[in-house]
Structure 1
Amino acid sequence: MLAFQKNLTNGFYTLLSLPASAMGFALSVQIAALSWLLTTQYGLDLHDVGFVWAAGPIAGILGQVIIGAISDNIWFWGGRRRPFIIIGGVLAALSLLALPNIGIISSALNVEAILGIAVLIALTLDLSINISFNPTRSVIADVTPKGHERTKGYTWMQTVSGSFGVLAYVIGTFWNNYALIYIGVGLVLVMSIIPPLFITESPTLEHSDPSTPNQKLGFWNGCKIIEPLWGFILYSVYAFIIKMAGIDVEHYWVEAICLIVTLGLIIKTLIVKEHQNPDGTSEQGFKKVLAAHAFTWLGVQSMFIYIIGFIKQNLPELSDNQTGQVISAGFLILSVVSAILPALLLEPLAKKLGRVKVHTYCIASMALAYFVLSQMGDNKFSIYVMMAFLGIGWASTISLPFAIMSQKVNAAKMGLFMGLFNLSVVLPQLVSSLGIGKYINQVDNKDMLFVVCGVCLLISAVAWCFIKEDLHQTLDLK
């Protein structure tokens, strides 16, 4: 073990953050360029774009849970997380390279269906990112102690990752999305291959008290743990089937039923008292985190995918390239805020007030910003200002929940639980792609996008109020 890892220096936290930053950069490229490419270069409508984006959540459902569980129990190439970080990084770089060449690939394969090729490439890219994302986050929990140091690990992860996200959107804004893609290929390769070689993993992981419910997790227990997400699963299966079958459903009865089921299951989860085991873990606490985090991502993913429709409606004078630049500039501002805040502000605030309370405030601010944007998004200045406010919630979303979740689960199964936690991200993403996309495509007023986003974040903020936190771990009290 190198001295900077033993002493937990800032340099170590920076290096530890680079693999996650590689995957974050790849995701930033996808966010900035994928919808733009598909609508402007290949003429797909918003619903079809949403279907392409659905490939990612499907990959995440399979990739993160399976890879997480496997990486908990194997050891090769000098690590349990290292091999998957490297393999996933290489595959992600190759998939990025394919993005601007969808038409060429389609012609080479003699396939006329651009949508099918786009889905295949998006699926490969997202599967690659998900192969790496779980290990890049799990390794932080593996090599940092519980409490403030772990919070520092995840807030530094977001600061470093967010800084590269800023770079991504600077390139997209002041150069173009094609340059962003090709630069991304090189950065993803370097940051996913080199840093893991300097991080020493332990051949054995910390084990929790054997009496805790998390110690043994079979298939049925795993299904029960993700109970708050059952409504998302139900709708995702329905929507995917009717999309693949080409069935055109004009009503929203199924959506309403699934929403009622989802809200019912989430309320049921939140009102059950959270019991902590002697080692600080809590199965009910983990379920509550899933319930609260899911609606955050339902709103956030909807913004990522469909903001192009919002901007085209409100700024119709812009060319395709100018529209892409506005999107990149907006996400650049969001990324600047989300890069600065975690280590500079969120970490010290979490140490003083508690992670859950700080995160709840951030999510509430994001809901408010969405509602304001729905009413004042008719000019670039308003869009940019509100994207800055949205950056507060985004900074917290991709840092603090990982620290909160990691305290509530068995450390020896961190990869598995990190994969299960990711279901609260990918299942809402799938609903956004297949359900909200249908609504946004049909509604005349695209401002409704941010009304929907605001409602989702408001529900999430309320849900976070029901989550208990062990302040002795958070505040380092004796």
Structure 2
Amino acid sequence: MLKIQQSLSRRFYMLLSLPSTAMGFALSVQISALSWLLSTQYGLDIHEIGIVWAAGPIAGILGQVIVGFISDKVWFWNGRRRPFILIGGVLASLSLLALPNIGIISESLGGIGILAVAIAIALSLDLSINVSFNPTRSIIADVTPEGEARTKGYTWMQTVSGTFGVLAYVIGGYWNNFVLIYFGAALVLLFSILPTFFVIEPKELPSSGENQETDKHNFNIVQVLKDIKPLWGFLAYSLYASVLHLSNIEVSHYWGETLALLVTLFFVFETLFKSEDNESNKSGKSHLGFQKVLAAHSFSWIGIQTMFVFTYAFLQEKMTLLSDDELGQTISYSFAILNGIAALLPALALGPLANKFGRIKVHAAALLVTAFAYLYIALFTTSPISMYIMMAFAGVGWAAIVSLPFAIMSERVENSKMGLYMGLFNLSVVLPQLVVSLGISLFLNKVDDKSMVFIVCAASLLISAVSWLMVKEKQAD
């Protein structure tokens, strides 16, 4: 074991962050380039682009839960998380290389439709990312003790990852998205492979529940379904909308959407209003505590995913004088600023503030800042400069979303089941993403004023902020 790992030095936290950085960079390339490519190069409309983006959440549902559970149990190549990081990194790099060649691949396969090829490549990329993403986050919890060190691990993860995320958008804006894609393929490969040979994983993960052996080896599907109860509404709508899309059934009403929204709000707030006081086991772990984190976190991702996927549609309507290349640059610079703030704040500000005032209060406050930034964009933004300024404020909440919830969640579940619960936690990301791709995309495609993109974002972040304030702060040991 390296001395930097034994002492949990800053250099170790940076090294530990590189695999997650690789996957984050791959995702940044996808965010920056995919919608732009499909719209300007292949002529897909907003709803078709939403269908392509649906591939990611589907990959997340399957990939992160299954890989998380398996990685808790296996040990090969001298690691539990290491094999999945290596495999996912190589596959993600290859998938990135396929992105700018969608047209060529379509022709080589006998003229298969661009939409079908785009979905296949997006699914391949997202499966690759999701094979690795869970292990890159779980390994941080595996090698850091609970408390301040765990928070430091996840905030440094976001600082390093966010810094390279900024680089991704700068490359896309200064040069172009094609340069970004090829650079990203090389970086993802390097950062996935190199750190895995220097971080030593513990061969045994401690279990602190009463029935340790049973907890450690069994997969309890009933308990899993109970644990994700706040997400049942999201799950039901995802299944409903997926059936409609696959069957090419068109409906002229919003009954399904309305019912799903009511079911979601019921289960979310029914969970949030329960008391955690009598729910924890001897180690302080709580299924209800985990459920509350899912409930609060889920609405954040409605706002985040809507912004990432449909900012281009908002800019097309509000900034009509921009050419396709200028539109791509404006999107890249906007996301670069967003991620620049998200890179700086976690380790430098959010971590210290969280240790002083509590992670949940700091997280909720950050979400409110982003909600107001979104609202300002919807109502007043008509120029790139105004967009850049507001995206800087929006970066405050984004910085919190991609750092603090991992530390909060990881202390509410058994260490021996970290991979599984990290995968279940990811459902609070991917199910809302799927709702955005299948439902909100349909709504935004029909509304005339694309300011509604950021109104939806603002409302979602506001609901999430209020929900987080209903989660009990875990007291430091």
The TM-score with structure 1 as length reference comes to 0.98
Letter in 1 for 2:425: F
Aligned twin of 1:182: 182
Q: What amino acid is the match of 1:25?
A: F
Say whether 1:420 aligns with 2:424: yes
In structure 2, what is the Cα distance between the partners aligned to 1:202 and 1:185?
A: 30
Correspondence for 2:385 among 381, 385, 394: 381
Instruction: Tell which deviates more after alignment, 43-52 or 277-286.
Output: 277-286
Equivalent residue in structure 1 for 2:281, among 277, 298, 302:
277
User: Is the deviation greater in 271-280 or in 169-178?
Assistant: 271-280
SS in 1 for 2:307: helix
Q: Which residue of 2 aligns with 1:259?
A: 261
Q: Which residue of 1 aligns with 2:64?
A: 64
Matched AA of 1:469? E
Q: Among residues 324, 328, 344, which one is paired with 1:324 in the alignment?
A: 328
* Partner in structure 2 of residue 476 of structure 1: none
Q: Secondary structure at the match of 2:476?
A: helix
SS at match of 2:320: coil
Superposed, 1:159-308 pairs within 5 Å as: 159-211=159-211, 217-274=219-276, 275-308=279-312
Q: CA deviation at 1:224?
A: 0.8
How far is the alpha carbon of 1:472 from its aligned partner?
A: 1.5
Cα separation, 2, equivalents of 1:318 and 1:470: 49
Does the 8 Å CA contact 1:354/1:469 hold for their aligned counterparts?
yes
1:472 is paired with a residue whose SS is coil
Aligned residue in 2 for 1:52: 52
- Taking the aligned partners of 2:252 and 2:29, their CA distance within structure 1 comes to 33
Letter in 1 for 2:369: S
Where do 1:441-460 residues align within 5 Å? 441-460=445-464
| Cα distance in 1 for residues equivalent to 2:158 and 2:458 | 23
Offset at residue 203 of structure 1 (A): 0.8
Query: What letter matches 2:313 in structure 1?
Result: G
2:354 corresponding residue in structure 1: 350
Aligned to 2:400: 396
1: CA distance, partners of 2:325 / 2:409:
40
Alpha-carbon separation, structure 2, partners of 1:188 and 1:323:
26
Task: Find the aligned partners of 2:146 and 2:8 in 1 and give their Cα distance.
Answer: 13
Instruction: Supply the distance in 1 between the matched residues of 2:145 and 2:36 (Cα, whole angstroms).
Output: 42
Q: Which amino acid in structure 2 is aligned with residue 349 of structure 1?
A: L
Counterpart Cα distance in 2 of 1:249 and 1:39: 25
Q: CA deviation at 1:149?
A: 0.1
Q: What are the Cα deviations for residues 78-123 of structure 1, in whole angstroms up to 9, with x where unaligned?
A: 1000000000000000000000000000111113311000000000
Which portions of structure 1, spanning 4 or more consecutive aligned residues, are displaced by more than 4 angstroms?
211-217
Deviation of 1:403 after TM superposition, in Å, equals 0.1
Q: Can you list the C-alpha shifts for 1:205-245, whole angstroms capped at 9, x where unaligned? A: 11113258976651111001100000001111111111111
TM-superposition CA deviations, 1:318-337 (whole Å, max 9, x none): 11111000000000100110
Is the aligned partner of 1:147 residue 2:151? no
Task: Supply the distance in 2 between the matched residues of 1:6 and 1:248 (Cα, whole angstroms).
Answer: 59
d(CA) in 2 for partners of 1:214, 1:404: 21
* 1:276 to partner: Cα distance: 2.4
CA distance in 2 between partners of 1:259 and 1:14 (Å): 41
Aligned to 2:280, the other structure's residue is in SS state coil
Residues 23-48 of structure 1: CA distance to partner in whole angstroms, max 9, x if unpaired?
00000000000000000000000000
The whole-number CA distance in structure 1 between the counterparts of 2:86 and 2:112 is: 34
Contact 2:209/2:215 (8 A) holds in 1: no
Which amino acid is 1:328 matched to?
Answer: S
Matched AA of 1:91:
L
Shift of 1:277: 2.1
- Mapped to 2, the partners of 1:463 and 1:237 lie a distance apart of 25
Residue 100, structure 1, aligned to residue 100, structure 2:
yes
What's the % identity of the aligned pairs? 59
Cα shift at 1:250: 2.5
Residue 364 of structure 1 corresponds to 368
In the alignment, the residues of structure 2 paired with residue 387 and residue 250 of structure 1 have an alpha-carbon distance, to the nearest angstrom, of: 35
Aligned residue for 1:462, secondary structure, equals helix
Unaligned runs of 5+ in 2: none
Match of 2:318 in 1: 314
Letter in 2 for 1:154: Y
1:284 Cα deviation (Å)?
0.2
Task: Return the offset for 1:271.
Answer: 0.8
